Structure 1
């Protein structure tokens, strides 16, 4: 067994196997577990400035997120952890790594409402009214640069 490894790449540098593994994890978490009606395909995964971060162990993707470049801000999204890997701090490590790539720029995200406190530990604060996305309550959050 290998130790979990933090990986990152822009879409153009991902292998087909990595793209499949990242998408497969999203489907497992968002569609199968959370019963979202469809996996969201917004085209932003392939933008040249989007950075994909994931944790891999023994060739298996355990957790992932993407970091979008929104000009004056960066946006963390698509945070997903395999059910079998939860409780190991993998998503926290990914969020910290993503924040570290933001070079003094504010970071935003749309948190599932029940995770508002969890994101708060990274310095995120609610930045507007809640909303429902795919039948799940969310809150917009923002982290100012340190």
Structure 2
């Protein structure tokens, strides 16, 4: 069971920030063998949705209000620790992220830039593909839209 919380950048403790950046680096840089600039200057604008299990961060997303990343609200840096994926926590953290966008930003249209291999996962959450695939940091992605 995940304990999910949402915080602004300023509300994050130093330890939470370190741990969520470590998780992002562990998955997006090391596991996916992708050299890219994770620290992109956008974390300060984002809402951070953090999934804890036994007080350890194992799932995470960051959310942007409309206009801060895309024209629509958006969810990015969706990550679950490799050794916890079998529990399907990706669905829990994404459901919490969608609800947080609806509650905090008062909108329901959400755009994401999804890694292509995760299309079905996002389809199961209600996202639909937009346009053609493209490379982002050397990894095939596709834009997807959630429009209930």
Same fold (TM > 0.5): yes
- Alpha-carbon distance, 1:105 to partner: 2.8
> What's 2:54 paired with?
58
| Matches of 2:94 and 2:53, distance apart in 1 | 18
Local SS of the residue matching 1:129 = strand
The alignment of Structure 1 onto Structure 2 pairs a total of residues equal to 141
Match of 1:67 among 63, 67, 72: 63
RMSD: 1.3
In structure 2, the partner of 1:80 is: 79
The answer to whether the aligner puts 1:138 opposite 2:141 as a matched pair is yes
C-alpha distance in 2 between matches for 1:4 and 1:99: 16
- Divergent runs of 4+, >3 A: none
> Structure 1 or 2: larger helix share?
2
Residue 40 (structure 1) shift: 2.0
Unaligned runs of 5+ residues in structure 2 are: none
What is the TM-score normalised by the length of structure 1?
Answer: 0.90
Match of 2:39 in 1: 41
1:127 and 2:127 equivalent? no
TM-score, normalising length: structure 2: 0.89
What runs of 5+ residues in structure 1 fail to find an aligned partner? none
Aligned-residue offset at 1:58: 2.1
How far apart are the structure 2 equivalents of 1:122 and 1:4? 18
Q: Distance in 2 between matches of 1:30 and 1:39?
A: 10
